[in-house]
Amino acid sequence: MIWNIIETDSSKSIPGLHCGKLLSRLIAANGLSDEKTAELLSNDSELTLSQAECVNKACERILLAAKRGEKVFVGGDYDADGICATAIMKKTLDLLKIPNGYYIPDRFKEGYGLSKETVALAARKGYQLIITVDNGVKAHEALAEAKKLGMDVIVTDHHRIEEEIGADIVVHPDYMEERYEYLCGAGVALELSMRLCGIQEDLIALACIASIGDVMALWKETRKIVLEGMEIMKRRIPRSVASMFRPGSTVNWTSIAFQIVPKLNSVGRMNDLSNVNTLVPFLLSNNPEAINSYTRQLEHVNDVRRQLSDTQTALAESMVKEDEFILIYHEKFHEGICGLIAGRLANTYHKPALVLARHEREIKGSGRSVDGFDMFSFFSDFTELSSFGGHEQAVGVGLKAEDLEAFRAHVNEKMKEVPVVESTHENTAIAVKSDEITMDEIMDLQRAEPLPKEINAYFAITDAQVLTMKETDKVIKYTIANANGPLEAVLYKRKGIVPPQDPHTVIGTLSINRWRSNVNMQIEIEDIY
């Protein structure tokens, strides 16, 4: 990696905020305004209610459905955000005593979003109102079918609007007040729920998980949802959510992102082992026996997903060539983890990567990009593709098996005209001396958590002296000299970093590691030299 290590003034005072040296350095290094700094360090998590016209109209239509005794159908999505949004809307309708049903499509057999076929089936079953959650702005055929069948549709979504939406009502951050601009799909559903049913703590917890899972910008109302959701989970974790944490875990951004979200996502990815629709009653359940039984199944699905991801990533790495664009196909790849493999390859080799698997008579897969390369634009004119979607950093593709070699040749030819600029990308780290790191300073730094994704929180210990080194199968642990107590530096081998013999600079993120009765200062290594 190429690092720009920047010096900052840790003595600069921030009026009224009483920041320590590490936190002051982080604020200065990121050029945060006083307003942004105050928001970042505020402990205000009181949620607000949108008064936007689209929210008002949606609530009125749902209450009208309750008055009329109409059946309401909820069309969901198969990732963590879509699953949580479906659960939020389902419970909201239950509280209003509105007859309802929901459906989340199969990722591989049906694809993303509300389909024309699902609308027709809902109509035959007597549903009169459809509410989409975390999808709908691109479901043009399905919306046209609903109109033809005389069904009303409320679209609740947060994805980019690119053309007019043929729905009766569209609830979207673009049509709401500015403070709601970073809401995820579950966040939008929560706004309707709070207007209709008041505060439901378990639903705020689900919106918190969804916001973290969809990597939303942690500012404004979304930041409040995450802060309040984590406080709720610390006070009284919903039974289903509690079952997904590892024993002894602390509720924070990291534990939610790495323990809860992958389990929710794994069900949608591993459709041959599970049905994503079963997650909704699980999330809303209070039955200990049912929760424990389902959690065991969920752990199994996630373990299989993790093992497949590891073994098939290793297989993919053995197939990587010197091409500027990594394009790998193997009939043994599982379609559900192609995106995970592509992401690992892109991060490791700093090149765009597309990983393809066999899907019946077709080949399907997912791509992940790197900074400076617009993958969506790159593939937008490929005639070999029978299906295509995504955005600048991630795409999904489908093509006929007989077109694979022509497609590969097209990619290689086009890459001659489209340079990848990732190799010049510079990462930034904040210079700090080892003895500036104390337990109190790290605790003060944690006041800014959870950090928005655009905030650089890498610190570079520029005077590191390694006292000890221990190695296991998965990690290398160093003890760094520090006058304030043991400072442990952890290097995960999966990052592919070759440890130097006598390092002097350690770059990573600072935290406090609590294990049983031991509490230590820790830096998770991102680079070392």
* Residues 466-497 pLDDT 10s: 999 999 999 999 999 999 988 999 999 888 88
- Residue 499 neighbours by CB under 8 Å, 6+ apart: 469, 476, 491, 528
pTM for this entry: 0.89
What digits encode the pLDDT tens for the residues 71-87? 999 999 999 999 999 99
Q: Spell out the residues 6+ positions from residue 315 whose beta carbon is closer than 8 angstroms to its own.
A: 330, 332, 333
| Digit-coded pLDDT (tens) for 90-121 | 999 999 999 999 999 998 888 889 999 999 99
pLDDT at 12: 65
Residue 306 CA to residue 292 CA, distance in Å, equals 21
Write the pLDDT tens digit of every residue in 124-179. Answer: 999 999 999 999 998 999 999 999 999 999 999 998 888 899 999 999 999 999 99
351-365: per-residue pLDDT in tens? 999 999 998 889 999
The four Cα atoms 517, 521, 523, 528 give a dihedral, to 10 degrees, of -110
Amino acid type, 417: E
Give the pLDDT score at 423: 47
Instruction: Give the H/E segment covering residue 368.
Output: strand 362-368
Residue 425 has pLDDT above 60, yes or no: no
Q: Which domains does the chain have, with CATH numbers?
A: 3-42+426-528 (2.40.50.460), 53-241 (3.90.1640.30), 325-419 (3.10.310.30)
How confident is the model at residue 323, as a pLDDT?
86
Distance (Å, rounded) from C-alpha 371 to C-alpha 500? 28
Q: Helices in 256-353 by DSSP H: which ranges?
A: 261-269, 279-284, 288-318, 338-349
Over residues 398-417, the pLDDT tens digits come to 999 999 999 999 999 999 88
| Cα gap 95→91, rounded to integer Å | 6
pLDDT of residue 352: 93
505: pLDDT strictly greater than 50: yes
Tokens (6 digits) for 68: 């009329």
Strand partners, 427: 3
Strand partners, 461: 432, 506
Query: Mean pLDDT, the chain, as a whole number?
Result: 93
Q: In what order do the strands lie in the sheet with 3-6?
A: 3-6, 427-432, 459-461, 506-515, 518-528, 487-492, 475-480, 466-471
Report the chain's C-alpha Rg in angstroms: 24
| DSSP 8-state symbol, 496 | -
The pLDDT value recorded for residue 14 is: 66
94 CB neighbour count, 10 Å cutoff = 13
- Identify the sign of the CA torsion 46, 47, 53, 56: negative
- Range of weakest confidence among 22-31, 173-182, 268-277: 268-277
Confidence of residue 302 (pLDDT cuts 50, 70, 90): very high
- pLDDT-derived band at 253, boundaries 50, 70, 90: very high
Structure tokens at 375: 């993958």
Percent of the chain topping pLDDT 70: 98
- Alpha-carbon separation of residue 184 from 134, 161, 223 (angstroms): 7, 14, 11
* Neighbour tally for 353: CB within 10 Å: 28
- Pairwise pLDDT comparison (59 vs 394), residue with the higher score: 59
Whether 527 and 4 have beta carbons less than 8 Å apart is answered as no
> What pLDDT sits at residue 396?
87
Alpha carbons 283 and 237: distance in angstroms, whole number: 12
Cα torsion 331, 336, 338, 344: sign = negative
Q: How confident is the model at residue 13 (pLDDT cuts 50, 70, 90)?
A: low
> Over 90: is that where the pLDDT of 228 sits?
yes
Using one digit for the tens of pLDDT, what is the confidence trace for 125-134? 999 999 999 9
Instruction: Give the model's pLDDT for residue 499.
Output: 85
326-329 and 506-515 strand pairing? unpaired
